[in-house]
Amino acid sequence: MRVRNIRGIEKKIEETAGEKYIIDPSSNKGRWKKVFNNNNPIHIEIGCGKGKFITSLAQKNKNINYIAIEKVEEILYKTVLKLDKEESLKIILGDGNDLLEYFAEDEVERIYLNFSDPWPKKRHHKRRLTSDVFLDKYRIILKNQGKLILKTDNTILFEYSLNTLNKKWLLENISLDYHHSEEIEDSPTEYEEKFRKKGIRIYRLEAINQK
Ligand SMILES: C[S@@+](CC[C@H](N)C(=O)[O-])C[C@H]1O[C@@H](n2cnc3c(N)ncnc32)[C@H](O)[C@@H]1O
């Protein structure tokens, strides 16, 4: 029998986040709107890191249900420390690889990928969050016309993502020197602030799911 080992940090996540922490996301597959107890659109971030981006969006936009996914518990705990009682935000300690276990077809309206790991070695390209393996999963859980929004400082990852997305998605609002603007539903991430301070250019794109 497999006994679930709740390590100290996961216990801290549970205690601090309370109901915002979803221990078994797969049990909510197809019923996320019930979990949030409303009919608002669901926006998810994969690899939320320390959570500045998703917590500030959730604190601004109370009419959207946000879900933050991060695979490293010590990092997710930093997101937990930024949670606010009022926002409509749930957090998952999980892997983007397992999205089809967490979400049913057409359940999600938007996916954010911010400063995802670039995985420079060729043999690791499949691990990139914009490899075909991941895009195929996004296409299933995203509604028709749902959006994938990506920001990165990494030229190679951006070029790679343009090529993989170009096969089946409609690309728009591509920026090779993105600056945050109040007109766009966006907020800077921890990595973004660090790169911006160093004068590093930020790339951004939006890709529309075509079903
Ligand atoms: C470079 S950091 C960027 C963090 C944050 N998005 C930002 O912009 O500040 C990438 C994060 O994605 C997480 N990550 C990478 N691959 C992931 C996956 N397959 N599923 C969930 N999280 C992942 C890493 O643990 C890390 O915290």
Protein residue whose Cα sits closest to atom 15 of ligand 1: 47
**Rounded distance, CA 211 to CA 192, Å?**
32
Average pLDDT for residues 116-130, to the nearest whole number?
A: 97
Q: Which atom of ligand 1 is nearest to the CA of 97?
A: 19
Q: Please check the confidence at residue 1 and state whether its pLDDT lies above 50.
A: no
| Mean pLDDT computed over 12-19 | 96
Domains of the chain: 12-208 (3.40.50.150)
Q: What local confidence, expressed as pLDDT, does residue 5 receive?
A: 53
**What is the pLDDT confidence band of residue 97, given thresholds at 50, 70 and 90?**
very high
Catalytic residue among 117, 136, 153, 186: 117
pLDDT tens track for 165-185: 999 999 999 999 999 888 889
Model confidence at 6, pLDDT cuts 50, 70, 90, reads: low
Identify how many contiguous H helices and E strands the chain contains and give both numbers: 8, 7
Please give the sequence-ordered ranges of beta strands (E in DSSP) within 41-137, or none if there are none.
Answer: 42-46, 65-70, 89-93, 108-114
Average pLDDT over residues 100-129: 98
pLDDT category, 13, cuts 50, 70, 90? very high
pLDDT tens, 29-69? 999 999 999 999 999 999 999 999 999 999 999 999 999 99
Please say if the pLDDT value at position 3 is more than 50. no
The shares of helix, strand and coil residues in the chain, as percent rounded to the nearest 5, are: 40, 20, 40
Residue 192 CA from chain centroid, whole number: 15
Q: What pTM did the predictor assign?
A: 0.96
How many Å apart are CA 197 and CA 27, to the nearest integer?
41
Taking the C-alpha atoms of residue 40 and residue 117, their distance in angstroms, rounded to an integer, is 30
Pocket of ligand 1 (CB under 6 A): 46-49, 69-72, 75, 95-97, 114-117, 189-192
> Could you confirm whether 153 is annotated as catalytic?
no
- In angstroms, rounded to a whole number, what is the distance separating the alpha carbons of residues 152 and 23? 29
